[in-house]
Structure 1
Amino acid sequence: MDETGFRVGIPGGERVLVPRAVKQLYTLSPENRISITIIEAVSAGGQTIPPVLVFLGKIHMESWYPENLHRNELILLSETGYSNSQLALRWLQHFIEHTALHEVGNPKLLLLDSHVSHTSPEFIIMATESNIFILLFPSHLTHVLLPLDVGLFQPYKHWHRQAVLCAIQEMDISYNLPIFMGDFPQIREQTFKESPILSAFRKAGIWPISCNTALEKLRTYSQPTQPLGPTEPTQPTLPRPITPIPTTYQDVEQGLQRWGKRVPEAFSSPSRQSYGNWLTGAARVLAAGQLQELDLQAVRQQVKNSKKKRGGRRQLQVGGELRASDARELIA
């Protein structure tokens, strides 16, 4: 078990490729910097339980509960937006509820970081009464030992970033908490698949148990950065084949660049200049056409998103917790 934070509308940096004729490129970015905390738990068998989401606020809003939620997600409200001893205790109840039917009577081993909320007497007593043994990892070593940190939270953040960038490309810069919740089921499904979960446990050396795996990772992280030495000469690459018939804007752009370097050699100086001007103009028209097509797609998507955003300002409950299934019943 571990928790991670998301800044709802912050995608992070990215590399952008544009036609050479485009000298400057500006993109709008969502300004929503709301932070939320998500608590996840995975097992060595490749399974997971519904997540617990901690929001900063005092009122549950209808727009937080889209129809595509899996109905077992639990949303808790906090005055800070972060987990604390009380919320950790509620998560443990959630964990017990969703693992009670698995291996009835057999003990469970719960791997945690050493946060103070995991060492409170109430937390330990509740775990012991439910036949759960707690193992705390040393501070500052969860990135080496805890499977969620080792192999799952990074792709979790990646798929969230992709969702925000997709919204930006569609010119939807109002990426807020309701939109995030609409994307959340897909983000989570892309992250918590059986194979990556098993891989995370294996890379952490937790299961199958491998002390050498963990020790090797510690050695890797502790090694100083070595300066890059001279690189070996690479094998020459074969020339590209003749440009095929273009089918996309990118094909046309690449063709203009390739033939723009070859054809002018046969021209006289004045013709070469005219041909160069023509190539520059063609590239600009090509770029403008591609941007117009993207704008059209973005407008269509905005119309689709606006239909989803209608309503949703209704208040469902003041304070406390709310399960997605209960919220959908209140909305109905």
Structure 2
Amino acid sequence: MECSGSKFNTFVNGGLTTEIFLDLFKNHFLVHVTYRPLILLYDGHATHITMDIIETARNSDVHLFVLSPHSSHMLQQLDVSVFSPFKKSVNSELHKQMHETREQLPGFINTAYNSSMTVSNIMFGFCKTGIFPCNPEVVLQKPKPADPVPTAKPLSIIPTRKEIKDMRLIKVLFENKVSNVEETLKPNTNKK
């Protein structure tokens, strides 16, 4: 099924992989969002932070602003305002069709996406999370969860050499960025 402006991708276990995220970033996001420079706010899931993604963003004049993982209930504007109505709409469509097939799923998702990904929902999400207009008090005043946020389970898969190399490069980039910021914040003692 063709869903104009949409890209549908699947993986065996249903999870998002680094490869799928990079493919969506390069071949969907960058194709449809053409104005530059651009700040992209997105969650800090491990599949979203690799050297390939960082370099692709840098080369495309997209500045990545990674939000903390496990903070979507407070900081991620789409989780707050768009994905909830999206999930309700998908479930509603699926319940109407008791014998849906894989071929029909993109159509259900397209319908749900179009009804929930609205300008007003997106603007509400930015306001509700204090991102725009900037209001840090929005997050600071939110009630703390009763139970501690679960930590990520340790991976049972040993990282590949490329992933280890990427992690080291990301660490170096981060340390350089911190060093540059610290240098900028130092008081100028050369004033006469």
TM-score normalised over the length of structure 2: 0.69
Contact between 2:37 and 2:63, CA under 8 Å: does it hold in 1? yes
Q: CA deviation at 1:75?
A: 2.4
Q: How does 1:103-118 map to 2 (within 5 A)?
A: 106-118=36-48
| Pairs aligned (count) | 146
C-alpha separation between the residues in 2 aligned to 1:161 and 1:75? 18
Whether 1:221 and 2:144 are equivalent positions in the alignment is yes
Residues 94, 108 of structure 2: 8 Å contact kept = no
1:119 and 1:164, CA in 2 relative to 1: closer, same or farther beyond 3 A? closer
Change (3 A) 1:166 1:113: same
- Match of residue 192, structure 1, among 97, 114, 117: 117
In structure 2, the partner of 1:87 is 20
Q: Which residue of 2 aligns with 1:134?
A: 64
Flag structure 2 segments of 5+ consecutive residues without an equivalent: 148-192
Q: Deviations over 1:212-261 (max 9, x none)?
A: 111112xx13469xxxxxxxxxxxxxxxxxxxxxxxxxxxxxxxxxxxxx
Aligned counterparts of 2:136 and 2:24: Cα–Cα separation in 1: 30
Larger Rg: 1
Specify the code of the residue in structure 1 equivalent to 2:107. Answer: G
Within 5 Å, which residues of 2 pair with 1:42-191? 65=1, 69-70=3-4, 72-93=5-26, 94-100=28-34, 102=35, 106-167=36-97, 173-191=98-116
Q: CA RMSD in A?
A: 1.9
Task: Measure how far apart 1:91 and its partner are.
Answer: 1.5
**CA distance in 2: counterparts of 1:146 and 1:159, whole angstroms:** 20
Higher RCO structure, 1 or 2 (CA under 8 Å, sep 6+): 1
Alignment match, 1:205: 130
Cα pair 1:118 1:124 within 8 Å, conserved: no
> Deviation above 6 Å: which 4+ runs of structure 1?
none
Give, in whole Å, the separation in 1 of the partners of 2:30 and 2:54: 13
**Distance change >3 Å, CA 91–CA 182, structure 1 → 2:** closer
Q: 1:165 to 1:77 in 2, by over 3 A?
A: closer
Deviation per CA, 1:62-94, whole angstroms, max 9, x where unpaired? xxx15xx22x32223423332111111112112
Superposed CA offset, 1:19-75 (max 9, x none) = xxxxxxxxxxxxxxxxxxxxxxxxxxxxxxxxxxxxxxxxxxxxxx15xx22x3222
Q: In structure 2, how many angstroms separate the alpha carbons of the residues matched to 1:174 and 1:152? A: 27
The gaps in structure 1 that reach 5 residues or longer are 1-64, 168-172, 225-332
**Structure 1 Cα separation of the partners of residues 17 and 66 of structure 2:** 17
CA distance 1:79–1:205, shift in 2 (3 Å): same
Q: Percent identity?
A: 23
- Judging changes above 3 Å, is the alpha-carbon distance between structure 1 residues 181 and 204 closer, same or farther for their aligned structure 2 residues? same
Contact 2:7–2:24 at 8 Å: present in 1 too? no
Partner of 2:161: none
Cα pair distance change 1:118/1:183, threshold 3 Å: closer
Letter in 2 for 1:80: N
Q: Does the 8 A contact of 1:201 with 1:208 survive in 2?
A: yes
Q: Could you tell me how far 1:164 is from its partner in structure 2?
A: 2.4
CA contact (8 A) 1:127 1:134 kept: yes
Deviation track 1:158-188 (CA, whole Å, cap 9, x = no partner) reads: 1112112333xxxxx3123223333333211
Q: Which has the higher strand share?
A: 1
Tell me the TM-score normalized by structure 1.
0.41
Q: In 2, are the aligned partners of 1:110 and 1:132 still within 8 Å (CA)?
A: yes
